Amino acid sequence: MSMERGNFDSEVLLSGLRHGDERAFRILFEEFYTALCLFATRFLGDSEAAADVVQEAFLKYWDRHGDFDNYYKIKSFLYVVVRRACLNLLRDKHVNVEVTEGIAIDSEEFFQTQVMEEEAYRVFYRTIEHLPLQMRTVIYYALKGLKNSEIAQRMGVSENAVHAYKKEAYKRLKDSMKDYYYLFEFLFLFLFV
């Protein structure tokens, strides 16, 4: 079974990770790096510091890669390590813990909410990557806030074509993300209304 990004069997990937396969590690890194950086940035408010924390978390994982017998344990380990490192950085800088929407960022509730949100976005963007090029391009422009007329102009197609690409992309995303319905309804309103 192939281990290219987006086209891998999780058992093959896990086996590769347990045996120290660098290609498997690269796939894991590419799969979670962006989401973990966003997660860390929510704590730190600094994307460069967040990237450093995430890279350190991957190094810590790599030092223990043989200890994990489950892909979800790896994911949990990475998020917990990133969270702890962020909170330690904040503590070391004597930064008071911020309260967002009535929830302290060092609380378990904040952690769980952020992990769920980042995971949903990771799945969403991975799903978009599998769309045909024209649909993917339309969706990326829509995510940047461009109107159909602006997208049409940039792509050199009609507004009707943009609308048709969005409609077909929605169908494909809806089918691919049926297990993530709670996220998809929000994204649908953002992209297609």
Please name the amino acid found at residue 153.
Q
Q: How far apart are CA 47 and CA 181, in angstroms?
A: 29
pLDDT band at 13; cut points 50, 70, 90: confident
> How is residue 6 annotated by DSSP?
T
Q: Evaluate if residue 178 carries a pLDDT over 80.
A: no
Place of tokens 């602006």: 150
Name beta bridge partners: 7.
4
Which of 41, 70, 72, 73 shows the shortest CA–CA distance to 54?
41
Name beta bridge partners: 189.
none
Q: How far apart are the first and last CA of the chain?
A: 40
37 Cβ neighbours under 8 A, 6+ residues apart: 47, 50, 51, 54
Strands (E), 37-150: 99-100, 103-104
pLDDT digit string, tens, across residues 83-133: 889 888 887 776 554 534 444 455 555 556 666 666 666 777 778 888 899
Q: Quick one: average pLDDT of 162-167?
A: 92
Tell me how long the chain is.
193
The pLDDT, as a whole number, for residue 53 is 95
Q: Evaluate if residue 71 carries a pLDDT over 50.
A: yes
State the SS3 of 53-74.
HHHHHHHHHHHCHHHCCCHHHH
Distances (CA, A) of 26 to 37, 91, 190: 16, 31, 32
- H or E stretch at 7: strand 7-8
pTM of the model: 0.55
